[in-house]
């Protein structure tokens, strides 16, 4: 079978290709046998997370002095894509750790915070990024969580919703408003550890897709946070959030690439096995054209994502390109996973084959880290400024 669907057509360096191949092989060997069970139980197998750390995938961009791999953002994107080909629930653990949590620590943390937390995040501790609340999703800066300066410490009160990795995480970046009168300019980012007084992880959501990835509520009831645990500056949390999410969107685009490639690869293979009217359905031009169209859109989405990641590594402005990558890749993933179910026929609607899971997994791409409408708004603003 031609492997061009799952192997990037874009030219990769030798190191990049080696990483992609190694991560994909790991996903096939270690994650795939557990994927269905994890989906049904809505729980990530702990040994998978341990192996992600052992492979160095939880600190890809982090410098070696903090126990990271000292590699590029593009490498992190390749790892997310390769994992998502098998199971995007595992991929989002790596994605959030690298593009959101580690990224925020590296960009905004002082030397003490970096020295304390980055080695843990690279070797043993899962991180989570807590911005969303019940009333502040797309309107992210309408958050109600409050931070009160108590002199020797900060006191945080409020709730966070839909926090990815919260079930496994031990280190959290939590956004709260330290000066509500200043509006969004009062928002501040705090580093909270799981065992801090007044902090707890609440309800775990029962989700449509990426079910093995934990999505939970966070509860802060007079949560005491050391004064030194402000990430960045007081009142500058909105900058931390905006700039971090710009990179996170590229990661979601990569996740959607892997989902789409996994579904299309399965559909191509099955179309060569399924027979109707005395021949393989792959021999019908109508099927071939649908698959060709899907493969073309998949590669276009890959170019969007790779270009945005390359621009980030080159230090260029990439806000518009990141939004385009996430928007387009998430649309393509939904289209291709739906087509895969069609080509599988009745089997596609059952849990016997992987495409129904990938169909469910794809939906979140148009929602988290900025809905499709918010991506269009971002793109439009960039075009009109």
Residue 1 domain-assigned (yes or no): no
- By C-alpha distance, which of 259, 223, 270 is closest to 335? 259
Residue 222 domain-assigned (yes or no): yes
The predicted structure's pLDDT at residue 3: 47
Q: Which of 126, 144, 171 is where one domain is finished? A: 126
Same domain for 360 and 256, yes or no, is yes
- CATH code (residue 108): 1.10.540.10
Q: Cβ(20)–Cβ(82) under 8 Å?
A: yes
Q: How many CA atoms lie within 13 A of 64 on its CB side?
A: 0
Same domain for 248 and 377, yes or no, is yes
Same domain for 229 and 292, yes or no, is no
As annotated, the active-site residues are: 369
Residue 2 domain-assigned (yes or no): no
Residue whose tokens read 């649908």 = 290
Residue 3 domain-assigned (yes or no): no
Same domain for 91 and 136, yes or no, is no
Handedness of CA 340, 342, 344, 348 (dihedral sign): positive
Q: What is the CA radius of gyration of the chain?
A: 21
Q: How many CA atoms lie within 13 A of 20 on its CB side?
A: 19
Note down pLDDT in tens along the chain; length 385 residues: 444 555 665 679 999 999 999 999 999 999 999 999 999 999 999 999 999 999 999 999 999 999 999 999 999 999 999 999 999 999 999 999 999 999 999 999 999 999 999 999 999 999 999 999 999 888 888 999 999 999 999 999 999 999 999 999 999 999 999 999 999 999 999 999 999 999 999 999 999 999 999 999 999 999 999 999 999 999 999 999 999 999 999 999 999 999 999 999 999 999 999 999 999 999 999 999 999 999 999 999 999 999 999 999 999 999 999 999 999 999 999 999 999 999 999 999 999 999 999 999 999 999 999 999 999 999 999 999 8
What string of DSSP letters covers 122-188?
A: HHT--EEEE--BTTBSSSGGG---EEEE-SSEEEEEEEEEEEETTTT-SEEEEEEES-GGGGGGGEE
Element (H, E) at 385: none
Q: Which of 186, 211, 234 is where one domain is finished? A: 234
Same domain for 136 and 62, yes or no, is no
Q: Which of 174, 199, 234 is where one domain is finished? A: 234
The total domain count for the chain is 3
- CATH code (residue 266): 1.20.140.10
pTM score of the predicted model: 0.96
Same domain for 365 and 265, yes or no, is yes
Same domain for 151 and 184, yes or no, is yes
Q: Which two tokens stand for residue 135?
A: 């009333």
Can you say whether residue 279 is alpha, beta or left, with left for phi > 0 and alpha for psi between -120 and 50 degrees? beta
Same domain for 141 and 172, yes or no, is yes
- CATH code (residue 142): 2.40.110.10
Same domain for 186 and 262, yes or no, is no
Same domain for 246 and 217, yes or no, is no
For residue 27, the enclosing domain spans: 14-126
């Amino acid at each position: 079978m031609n492997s061009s669907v799952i192997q990037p057509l874009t030219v990769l360096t030798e190191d990049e290709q080696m990483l992609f191949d190694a991560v994909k092989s790991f996903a096939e060997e270690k994650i795939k046998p557990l994927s269905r069970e994890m989906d049904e139980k809505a729980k990530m197998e702990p040994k998978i997370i341990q192996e992600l750390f052992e492979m160095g995938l939880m600190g890809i961009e982090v410098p070696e002095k903090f126990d990271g791999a000292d590699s590029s953002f593009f490498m992190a994107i390749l790892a997310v894509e390769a994992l998502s080909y098998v199971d995007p629930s595992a991929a989002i653990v790596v994605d959030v750790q690298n593009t959101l949590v580690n990224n925020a620590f590296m960009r905004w943390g002082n030397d003490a915070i970096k020295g304390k937390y980055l080695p843990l995040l690279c070797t043993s501790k899962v991180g989570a990024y807590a911005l969303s609340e019940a009333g502040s999703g797309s309107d992210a800066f309408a958050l109600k969580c409050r931070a009160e300066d108590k002199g020797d410490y900060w006191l945080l009160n409020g709730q966070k919703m839909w926090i990815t990795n919260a079930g496994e995480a031990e280190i959290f970046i939590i956004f709260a408003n330290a000066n509500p009168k200043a509006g969004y300019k009062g928002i501040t980012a705090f580093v909270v550890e799981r065992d801090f007084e007044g902090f707890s992880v609440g309800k775990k959501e029962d989700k449509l897709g990426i079910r093995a990835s934990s999505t939970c509520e966070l509860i802060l009831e007079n949560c005491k946070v050391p004064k030194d645990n402000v990430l960045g500056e007081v009142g500058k949390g909105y900058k931390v959030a905006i700039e971090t999410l710009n990179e996170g969107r590229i990661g979601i685009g990569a996740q959607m690439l892997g989902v789409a490639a996994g579904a299309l690869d399965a559909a191509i293979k099955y179309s060569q096995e399924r027979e109707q009217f005395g021949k393989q359905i792959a021999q019908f031009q109508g099927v071939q054209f649908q698959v060709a169209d899907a493969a073309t859109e998949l590669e276009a989405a890959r170019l969007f994502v790779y270009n945005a990641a390359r621009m980030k590594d080159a230090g260029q402005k990439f806000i518009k390109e990141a939004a385009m990558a996430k928007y387009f890749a998430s649309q393509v993933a939904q289209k291709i996973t739906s087509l895969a179910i069609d080509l599988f026929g009745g089997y596609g609607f059952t849990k016997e084959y992987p495409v129904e899971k990938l169909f469910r997994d794809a939906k979140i791409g148009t929602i988290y880290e900025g809905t499709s409408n918010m991506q269009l708004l971002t793109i439009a603003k960039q075009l009109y400024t």
